[in-house]
Structure 1
Amino acid sequence: MGERVFLVVGYHSAELLDIACVTSALQFANRIGAEPRYRAVLATPGKDDITCDSGLRLAADAGLERFNETIDTLVVSGGLGHEDAAASPLLVGHVRRLATLARRVASVCTGATVLAEAGLLTRRRATTHWRYAERLARRYPEVQVDPGPVYVRDGNVATSGGVTSALDLTLSFIEEDHGPALARAVAMGTVAYLQRPGEQAQLSIFLIPGITDDLMVRRLTEHIVSRLDQTLTTATLARLAGVSERHLSRLFLAAVGETPAQYVRRVRTESAAQLLSTPLPLTAVARRCGFGSTESLRQAFLDRYGMPPSRYRRNAPAGVEVGPKPI
């Protein structure tokens, strides 16, 4: 088999990381033994150079209009220019045409808007950057938009969340093409702490406290993250805050979109996911994160990630043993 061509679609005000996460992971895979090798090609309208969000200019390898090679994977980048890109009949038309030449079709971040405009997401489940998910769903009601996952694969079409999720999606492609050992080596080589499964949430519990202005909720989330092995029932948290359970639930729903119980379960599961990159046995992971048993831990992983912790651990490169820390 010849080389695998990844055709990356760029345009003015594309996000540089959306492009670089894909191309850098592929080149790292080549360096450590991917066979057949990958060839990343940046294609733009007219083969014009593009200026990225960051202000850096990129030289195109090919023009969208003239590219007619067989494509392994077509990837549409996201960025602040995605609306203008989706409004361009030339760009959208050639994305639609090139998709017929590709084995796989994908988008990074807001590149999903271009795929939706091209009709490639119709009646498919898809994701995008969480900030733009509601807008995508309103504009394209025929697309089943899910703002939660890092990436979603529906048939031969894949969409990913914001920016660095491009690396997670590319790692999943490398694993599909060359097996988990090479994908794990690329993850370690690019210093990706964890090769995240697609169903992992874009918004980690380690970020939530920093994006809510509610001081009480912030203090409680910090308390939860730093005391996972303690009793964290809604009643316990309400007593700590000096409010009723009903009022506490209203505050959490408004601030983080979950009840206290749902938030605690998610914190415990995500923290356990971090610890699975260490040699700790499952019983110790479960105890440290506040699960009553390894079976409770297993059920939480099935509910959140669609896989048991043992499989999740196989996807995680070895790391340094750390415990949950306050934010």
Structure 2
Amino acid sequence: MPDTVEALVESLSARDRTARRAAKDALVALGAEGIDQLLPYALDTHPRNLRHDVQSIIERWGDEAMPRLREIRRTGPGQLRRKALEILVDMGGQEALDDVDRHAVERLVRIKILDERPVKVPFEAGRWLAFPADRLDDAISALGLHDVRPVTTVMGVAAATQATDFLEFRDAQSATHRAYRVFITPAFENSYAEGSIKRWHMLWGNSFLDELDGFELARELSVRCGEAHFYVLDPYNASENWYVARDGHTRRSYSTYAHPQFEGEPLPFEAWYMENADEDEAEAFSEGVPHASTAAENLSVEPGPQLAEDTHGHGWLATTHPDIPNSRFKGALPT
């Protein structure tokens, strides 16, 4: 068996596509009895393409591979234990782990949370909601969030913007639904924010905000929280949006491709930009501020690196359906 696996793994890197496909099919056909010989090739000591191919083969074995992966987690070999954990989570989410590993992961997150400073949220692109930090419980209720659990910011950002952030499932009547996973950041303080609210949470979740309409979600949030914002940075389409809702009503908005681009009367912070724009900026700021990051900086909090002294508490990971906890989502997350 070892010689066969070694030869087939070597063929995974062959120049000929047919040879590579044949080797992969042959390794899949071996079944989970080959996991001990194959798993070492998924370690970081091997080239990335080979690691990816090997892991995809193990994942194709599905449930057949899980008992041995769990056994490796418990008894070793030691150098394979971490990779076994990663593949288990990629295959079945946290539910694929045994109780010992689940508790170990939860303990690790609790430890990492204690000294995760400073933190950083995406700046180059994205979309996010912002709401007052003292209205967290109201926001959770307004958005219908469930299984709200503490996480590090690194973990939360990956879950909401990089990993699979939605899951399709069927209810008792066989109707198909989607549950989404979202990340609520720690509270970030901005002493320069316009108005009396200086601490804000941001909520990230690409699929959630795209498919359920971030503008409508902000309006609904503002009913319970008094005020809520939605921001979009979309460099691919050269588009920016920012939206302010208060008490369930649109107060001010800007959208690059809307007609008209601005809605509502200019907010106080915009007056400074409109009055102090130089000759080159005069046209851009003639009606208000067209930049989402500038609006966020003045109204709530701008994404990117956050100062340790301006960061309060920790982040939260949540889902949008009571029957779909975070543990159902597949994929290993960084801590």
In the superposition, the TM-score normalised over structure 1's length comes to 0.29
Question: Larger RCO: Structure 1 or Structure 2 (Cα < 8 Å, ≥ 6 residues apart)?
Answer: 2
In the superposition, the TM-score normalised over structure 2's length comes to 0.29
| The structure with more radius of gyration | 2
| The structure with more strand, counted as a fraction of residues | 2
